């Protein structure tokens, strides 16, 4: 590995909902909420596994997924997804984001292994946010896989009756 | 009378554990079945004898295989079988086969299972005994005049539904006779447009009902009592999430009336063993018979907690021919109990099943808190069975105290390895409608905007953790030594990072 280039002084955690959490490096065991600092501590032991100590209480922590700078964190059993950006990557993101707004496409993947019971849409169909795309049966339950965006279906990856694995592509939607 | 000596547990998970606990207390041996999908399951360690079943290549799970279970019972010299809930618990043929092979089925008679399991038959029986039901027209309705006649018989409000319909289209709620003509034409037209079929039928419309069920106990000598009700209105897509006993909607008078009706239905089919009669209760305190479940229910513990009666023990005693030792006037409902079904489901993804391996699990160990579970650290929640991890049952002297105690207990439940429904219950305990007890079956799907709550503090801490992780993986030379993966497989990306850092 090449040695670190100019030292990074700040990092930003960007939530899926677009909220920005700045942190100064070196990272201290402190979070800042509404202008007040609170101390937090990350710990691990045999009984509880990894956990956070905050206001004299333990909270469970799990890292569900990490992919490059993207992290899904389960904190107190609730999932939060962040990308962590440096000041430089933050700037690049803004530039890229501006040019990428239109015609981006979204790939809908199977959230779990199961069987496709029904396909509720078709190639070329317009869908709105929240509309059912397919019905996926897993663990005796039928789950409606809904579109999280409004747009046009450009591809259907499955047929009724087909078994799918987790992360198999169900549909592709071009965002309006 | 024939005292049971050895019971085959034709089930798995928490209910298998639950049955074996009581059997042990009563000095009865148990046989459990080890399956290929769950060879190390917790319930096996509660059995006196484990039957090894090589079902890896089997088409259906052994717990659904009538012939196989009978042969296991005979081979392991069981004099009885307990079916638990789900699987074959309400299968009249299984009960019949047990009888043919001189094995006692711990449950009702095959005849009662059949009658209550068959909707038209059950409705006919209920009608014959003048049990209140949501009435409907037997077939489609030809004209608005006919609709008015039917509605007058059924009682307003009624709902007009498309005969070939579904999904809400062609449905019209009619609250008084003067609206009928207009609504009938509208519904019929809408039905034609949507389904190419204008025919509609009429049913009693039950506005914002509560789901209330009564626990029944009957013996083979014809004694039948009820143990009060359970409130099961907290449900999503007809899946119950939380149950409590008693119900905040009932008073002693209504309880007595509904309880008597429940006993009457049970008597109509010569019911013995434990059973449950389900009703819908409308906002005017009218109740309507829905169906009877001829088995022990998932939510039976809330009844046990407020009556002090062990329902599994009663089932076993009744199966051996004993007379009920409890009379109706002996049944006392004391305090309040709430059960949360902690499932491996992702609340933030619409309760999608989240199978996985349980890495850590612990529950508060204190008075007033009961945990029925079939998993421990290292257990897997497998996709082939239901997603239940545990039932957390908490009591209090009244509803207010039970809610507070449940809130506290939920904060002490520690489960790692899969996403769970814990965030949902933590949110629910803080919801004012839930606290008031006025919710109906529509509450979860229609009135709730969010299924979890997360504070700004919590999000900030999660952001801090993500940042810390990023620093450790990308920038830091010193490691905290915390192993986040905890037995998980390393992602290729993380692995490469690790290797390059050596």
Share of chain B above pLDDT 70, in %: 93
Share of chain A above pLDDT 90, in %: 41
B51-74 mean pLDDT: 93
| CATH number belonging to domain A105-175 | 2.40.50.100
Q: Which residues 353-392 of B are in CB contact (within 8 Å) with A?
A: 353-355, 359-360, 362, 383-387
Q: Residue B487 has what pLDDT?
A: 44
Chain A hits for B37, CB-CB cut-off 8 Å, are: none
Is the model's pLDDT at B483 over the cut of 80?
A: no
Least confident of B9-18, B138-147, B217-226, B244-253: B138-147
Q: Residue B489 has what pLDDT?
A: 44
Is the model's pLDDT at B16 over the cut of 70?
A: yes
- At B254 the three-state DSSP class reads helix
pTM recorded for the entire structure:
0.83
A153-173 mean pLDDT: 88
- At B465 the three-state DSSP class reads helix
| Beta bridge partners of residue B158, listed in sequence order | B174, B204
Q: Which residues 439-478 of B are in CB contact (within 8 Å) with A?
A: 452, 454, 456-471, 473, 475
Residue B501 pLDDT grade (very low, low, confident, very high; cuts 50, 70, 90) = very low
Q: Measure the CA dihedral B365/B369/B372/B376, to 10°.
A: -20
Pick the CATH number of B144-204 from 3.40.640.10, 3.60.70.12, 3.10.20.30, 3.30.1490.20: 3.30.1490.20
Q: Residue A154 has what pLDDT?
A: 87
B349-359 mean pLDDT: 92
Q: Kindly report the number of other CB atoms within 10 A of residue B6's CB atom.
A: 17
SS (H, E, C) chain A: CCCCCCCCCEEEEEECCCCEEEEECCCCCEEEECCEEEEEEEEEECCCEEEEEECCEEEEEEEEEEECCEEEEEECCEEEEEEEECHHHHHHHHHHHHHHCCCCEEEEECCCCEEEEEECCCCCCEECCCCEEEEEEECCEEEEEECCCCEEEEEECCCCCCEECCCCEEEEEEEC
CB-facing half-sphere around the CA of B263: CA atoms within 13 A = 18
Pick the CATH number of B210-447 from 3.50.50.60, 3.40.50.150, 3.30.470.20, 3.40.50.1100: 3.30.470.20
Q: Residue B169 has what pLDDT?
A: 67
Least confident of A124-128, B261-265, B298-302, B447-451: A124-128
Which residues of B are identified as catalytic? Answer: 295
Question: Where do the structural domains in chain A lie, given as residue ranges?
Answer: 10-99, 105-175
A76-81 mean pLDDT: 96
Least confident of B137-146, B334-343, B489-498: B489-498
> Mutate which of A53, A75, A77 to disrupt the B interface (most B C-beta within 10 Å)?
A77
Equal CATH topology for B6-106 and B144-204: no
Q: Residue B493 has what pLDDT?
A: 47
- The helix-helix angle for B92-100 and B66-75 (nearest 10°) equals 30
Cis previous bond, B157, omega within 30 = yes
Q: Measure the CA dihedral B365/B369/B374/B376, to 10°.
A: -20
If one compares B381 and A121, the residue with the highest pLDDT of the two is: B381
- A133-142: per-residue pLDDT in tens? 888 888 767 7
Residue B478 pLDDT grade (very low, low, confident, very high; cuts 50, 70, 90) = low
Question: Where do the structural domains in chain B lie, given as residue ranges?
Answer: 6-106, 144-204, 210-447, 460-501
Q: Residue B158 has what pLDDT?
A: 93
Residue B490 pLDDT grade (very low, low, confident, very high; cuts 50, 70, 90) = very low
Give how far B424 is from chain A: nearest CA, Å.
Answer: 10
Helix (H) or strand (E) holding B229: strand B224-236
Region at B487 (left for phi over 0; alpha for psi -120 to 50; beta for the rest): left
- B82-121: per-residue pLDDT in tens? 999 999 999 999 999 999 999 999 999 999 999 998 877 8
Chain A hits for B386, CB-CB cut-off 8 Å, are: 139-140
Q: Does B178 touch chain A (CB under 8 A)?
A: no
Q: How far apart are the first and last CA of chain A?
A: 42
Chain A hits for B387, CB-CB cut-off 8 Å, are: 139, 141
Is the model's pLDDT at B54 over the cut of 90?
A: no
Q: Closest to A42 (Cβ–Cβ): which among B354, B360, B468?
A: B468
| Burial of residue B296 (number of CB atoms within 10 Å: 0-12, 13-18, 19+) | buried
Q: Residue B481 has what pLDDT?
A: 59
Q: Residue B135 has what pLDDT?
A: 83
Q: Residue A3 has what pLDDT?
A: 53
Chain A hits for B471, CB-CB cut-off 8 Å, are: 11, 25, 27
Q: Closest to A33 (Cβ–Cβ): which among B362, B457, B467?
A: B457
Q: How far apart are CA A75 and CA B484, in angstroms?
A: 13
Topology (CATH level 3) of domain B6-106: Rossmann fold (3.40.50)
Q: Residue B500 has what pLDDT?
A: 45
SS (H, E, C) B409-440: HHHCCEEECCCCCHHHHHHHHCCHHHHHCCCC
Q: How far apart are CA A158 and CA A134, in angstroms?
A: 9
């Amino acid at each position: 590995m090449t040695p670190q280039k100019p030292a990074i002084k700040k990092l930003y955690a960007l939530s899926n909902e677009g909220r920005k959490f700045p942190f100064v490096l070196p990272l201290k065991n402190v979070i800042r909420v509404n202008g007040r600092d609170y101390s937090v501590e990350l710990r691990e032991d045999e009984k509880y596994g990894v956990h956070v100590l905050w206001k004299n209480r333990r909270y469970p922590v799990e890292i569900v997924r990490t992919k490059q700078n993207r992290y899904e964190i389960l904190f107190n059993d609730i999932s939060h997804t962040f990308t962590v950006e440096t000041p430089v990557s933050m700037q690049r993101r803004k530039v890229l984001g501006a040019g990428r707004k239109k015609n981006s496409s979204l790939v809908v993947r199977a959230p779990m292994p199961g069987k496709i019971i029904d396909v509720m849409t078709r190639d070329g169909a317009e869908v709105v946010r929240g509309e059912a795309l397919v019905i996926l049966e897993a663990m005796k339950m039928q789950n409606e896989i809904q579109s999280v965006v409004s747009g046009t279906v450009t591809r259907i990856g499955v047929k009724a009756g087909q078994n799918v694995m987790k992360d198999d592509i169900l549909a592709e939607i071009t965002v309006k | 009378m024939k005292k049971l000596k050895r019971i085959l547990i034709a089930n798995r998970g928490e209910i298998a554990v639950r049955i074996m606990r009581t059997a042990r207390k009563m000095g009865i041996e148990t046989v459990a079945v080890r399956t290929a999908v769950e060879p190390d399951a917790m319930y096996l360690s509660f059995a006196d004898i484990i039957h090894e079943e090589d079902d890896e290549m089997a088409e259906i799970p052994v717990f659904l295989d009538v012939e196989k279970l009978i042969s296991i019972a005979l081979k392991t010299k069981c004099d009885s079988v307990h079916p638990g809930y789900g699987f074959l618990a309400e299968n009249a043929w299984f009960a019949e086969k047990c009888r043919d092979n001189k094995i006692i089925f711990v449950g009702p008679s095959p005849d009662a299972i059949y009658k209550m399991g068959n909707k038209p038959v059950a409705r006919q029986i209920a009608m014959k005994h003048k049990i209140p039901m949501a009435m409907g027209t037997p077939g489609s309705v030809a004209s608005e005049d006919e609709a008015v006649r039917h509605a007058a018989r059924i009682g307003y409000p009624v709902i007009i539904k498309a005969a070939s319909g579904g999904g809400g289209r062609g449905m019209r709620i009619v609250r008084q006779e003067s609206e009928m003509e207009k609504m009938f034409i509208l519904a019929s037209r809408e039905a034609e447009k949507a389904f190419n079929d204008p025919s509609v039928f009429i049913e009693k419309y039950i506005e914002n009902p509560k789901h209330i069920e009564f626990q029944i106990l009957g013996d083979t000598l014809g004694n039948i009592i009820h143990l009060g009700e359970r409130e099961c209105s907290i449900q999503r897509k007809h899946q119950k999430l939380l149950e409590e006993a008693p119900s905040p909607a009932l008073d002693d008078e209504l309880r007595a009336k509904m309880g008597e009706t429940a006993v009457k239905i049970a008597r109509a089919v010569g019911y013995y063993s434990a059973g449950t009669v389900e009703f819908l209760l409308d906002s005017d305190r009218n109740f309507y018979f829905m169906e009877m479940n001829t088995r022990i229910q998932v939510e039976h513990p809330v009844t046990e907690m407020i009556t002090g009666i062990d329902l599994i023990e009663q089932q076993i005693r009744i199966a051996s021919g004993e007379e009920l030792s409890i009379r109706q006037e002996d049944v006392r409902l004391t305090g309040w109990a709430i059960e949360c079904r902690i499932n491996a489901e992702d609340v933030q993804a619409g309760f999608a099943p989240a199978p996985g391996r349980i890495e850590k699990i612990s529950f508060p160990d204190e008075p007033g808190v009961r945990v029925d579970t079939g998993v421990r650290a290292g257990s897997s929640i497998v996709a082939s069975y239901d997603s239940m991890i545990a039932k957390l049952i908490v009591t209090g002297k009244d509803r207010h105290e039970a809610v507070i105690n449940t809130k506290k207990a939920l904060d002490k439940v520690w489960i790692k390895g899969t996403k769970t429904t814990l965030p949902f219950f933590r949110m629910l305990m803080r919801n004012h409608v839930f606290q008031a007890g006025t919710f109906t079956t529509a509450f979860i799907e229609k009135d709730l905007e969010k299924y979890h709550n997360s504070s700004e503090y919590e999000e900030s801490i999660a952001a801090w953790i993500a940042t810390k992780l990023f620093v450790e993986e990308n920038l830091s030379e010193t490691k905290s030594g915390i192993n986040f993966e905890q037995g998980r497989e390393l992602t290729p990306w993380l692995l490469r990072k690790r290797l390059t850092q050596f």
